[in-house]
Amino acid sequence: MDISVFVFLSSSFFLFYFVFSHATDNITGSQFLSDREATTLVSKDGGFALGFFSPGDSTNRYLGIWYNNIPIKTVVWVANRRNPITDSSGVLMVSSSGSLVLLNQNSTVVRLANSTKEAGNSMVQLLDSGNLVLREVHEENPENYLWQSFDYPSDTWLPGMKLGWDLRTGLERRLTAWKSSDDPSPGELSWGIELHNYPEFVMEKGSKMYFRTGPWNGLGFSGVPEVRANAVFNFSFFSNKDEVYFIFNIIQHSVISRSVLNQTQYERYIWDNGKWSLYLHFPRDECDTYNLCGVYGNCIISESPICQCIQGFKPKSANTWIPDEWSKGCVRSTQLSCQDKEKIGFVKFVGYKLPDTTYSWVNQSMNLEECRVKCLNNCSCMAYSNSDIKDGPDGGSGCVIWYGDLIDFKPTAANRQDIYIRMPASEQVKGKQKMKVTVIVVVAIASVFGVLWILYCLCKMTSLRDKMENNVMIDQNIEGQREDLEVPFFSLATIATATNNFSINNKLGEGGFGHVYKGTLTDGQEIAVKRLSQSSVQGLNEFKNEVTLIAKLQHRNLVRLLGYCIEGHETILIYEYMPNRSLDSFIFDQTRAGVLGWSMRFNIICGIARGLLYLHEDSRLRIIHRDLKASNILLDSNMIPKISDFGMAKIFGGDQTEGNTNRVAGTYGYMAPEYAIDGLYSVKSDVFSFGILLLEILSGKKNRGSFHPSHGQNLVGNAWKLWKEGKPLELIDTCLKDSCILLEIVRCLRISFLCLQQHPEDRPNMSSVVMMLHGESSLPEPKEPASFVGKKSSSSRKNQSSSTNEITVTLLEAR
């Protein structure tokens, strides 16, 4: 269109431009959209509006689309991101040649959206989807667009919008973040599909890779398996010679959802209760950072260091694993020999995010065995996998193979993708033998240790009881005690100096066991000193139990024991100092609860779950904690949770899965019903306590002594009531309203109910809990939880028999 025509139109449009007297969703060649007159287009269903706006504190004017039916103005598309208008002179019109034109005060073209063909009678229309389209007025096919805003996304991905490539025209649909809240021009973070033989979503900072999802495998992306079809969303991935794109749609039409790329990450939101609730986000943690651990590096967020080498490899750097060296990756422990195929094979890695697909090859018609043969016959092929696992990994189809070194892959919770990595035959045999030997050794050691431990405890309990009955002082047997413990001994004088003689100013807290003090050793190391009182319910056996147990346990989410002291009447434990104290000091304190936003609380929940999983299944011993509660979860300087207080813990040996005791010791309100009533304990007892703890973290309320004022139910009962009424978010701590991620909140609440089932066999084990926390949203439907009781009235308490009360006192030695 000639610029003189623009000048004429801009100088004379006031004579004939259409002023909207009512909301309309389109304009034609004889109509204008004017910033000066504050006119807008509104989609037919009222969901979206198109008009001029100024972002944040900026005075620049932009043409954009935003949600029209919610109180928070949320912009989803900007036309002139790079070309702001400095005043209110902006005018949107359809030219005589059928193009969409945005003019400013000088009648210069700010944005010219050329149609794909000449059309003399065009209209621009805002659809209910939020898509702004240009089409012919009398076009029989209403979806035959000349141009559409969905082809040129800004920072927001809406349902029905394709992200990816039109290979016929070379058009790429890619999200780019706003530079700032005041400036919608493209920032450095972008999000789109990388066109390899095996396409995948990638996030880039400038020109550098920042994060990748892994390729689509028929179910989801191998690196973010939670992005898959569920009750709310439906996802589809298309790849052929004409197009490669990903699209999502909302199954429940009443749901309002958007995905946005901000300056740091990708986030998906759902509009809920008058605000945007975060549904999911990524990158999720440090292990999502692209190629953090280098070639053949294995990133596991719960390990320390988080970067490891996969089986058959060793660190390339002589300085082992330190953060500055991680990216150097790993090298093979045994080099490959391509000439002798009999000495080459593959090791299966289960549940992995697939490696970077830059150097990959795909054939959708090959099966897994054909894929293995093709990879084996090519010396450059380092790994292979199924390209489609929608029928499960055992029934997968298609073949993808990788050439050269493998980078950016890791185990991922709830991921069903397997990958087969090329290895020397010696590594395959070694792996199988190592697994068999490990199982045999662990079972044998656990069995022997369990028997010896039981005999040891029986002897010591008898010895201690005899000494107490005869009023024999504990310190008469002190020297013998030291020899049984495998951690450093600290003298009482050293500890007294470190704590300023147990000064009240150094006191961190107290419980039924005694007091905890902060101390500083002569080398400057800060410590936490647990000093048992002489009347403590934790006696000498529990003390030694705790020392012995913690000395053998090493995990990121377990507190580290530095030493002990048995001297005179003193029994003392020395731990690493936790500057942020215990979890209960945050979640139950109205002034400090706000410090723990949802993201931090979710990380704490996952850390506790991983710590329990280690105790139950992954440590050298099978440990039942028996006293899991908020005050026994300590927080380090980075708010990483660490399970503490193993005085009541029990060790299981061999195949033992449950035990029985006549002395139920723990904390009322956290104990499973079978333990509190019958003295039966198992890993499922800890699972029950975890369920209570999970509810407390979500609600910011204590289970014990917490009763709803209107219906008298305790925390569990109130939570179940709200769940059945479809109002679970009313349970959530009010300080989480602005930070909570709806998907994770609902998932955690459902998991807590599953953990709180009446019968132990109905509760999940901790490995399932860990997978549920990071897995898909479709979880088993819980039954009514145990402890679903209300506060008893005084009359009901009077009617209880005295024998019942006596039994309760006898069984429950609560702390």
Q: Where do we find the tokens 């065995």?
A: 369
Helix, strand, coil percentages for the chain (3-state, nearest 5):
30, 30, 40
What DSSP line would sit under 191-235, residue for residue? EEEE-SSS-EEEEEETTEEEEEEEEB-SSSBTTBTTSS--SSEEE
Residue at 585: amino acid letter: S
Place of tokens 């490995």: 767
Structure-block tokens of residue 650: 């029990």
- Out of 627, 645, 686, 733, pick the active-site residue: 627
How far, in Å, CA of 446 to CA of 440, rounded?
10
Residue matched to tokens 């998906």: 268
Q: Which residue has the tokens 């020395």?
A: 574
- Specify whether 686 is catalytic: no
The tokens 């001297």 sit on which residue? 567
Residue 530, annotated as binding a ligand: yes
Nearest Cα to Cα of residue 396 among 404, 387, 405: 387
Nearest to 583, CA basis, from 715, 697, 735: 697
Identify whether the C-beta of residue 76 lies closer than 8 Å to the C-beta of residue 157.
no
Tokens describing residue 135? 């089409």
Counts for the chain of helices (H) and strands (E), in that order: 15, 48
In sequence order, the β-bridge partners of residue 243 are: 166
Contacts of 297 (CB under 8 A, 6+ apart): 307, 308, 309, 310, 326, 329, 330, 407
Beta carbons of 275 and 263 less than 8 angstroms apart: no
Q: How many CA atoms lie within 13 A of 178 on its CB side?
A: 16
At 529, the amino acid letter reads V
**Residue 624 belongs to what H/E stretch?**
strand 622-624
Three-point CA angle 618, 622, 626, nearest 5°: 115
CA R_g for the chain: 32
Q: Which residues carry a binding-site annotation?
A: 530
Catalytic positions: 627
Q: Which residues carry a binding-site annotation for ATP?
A: 530
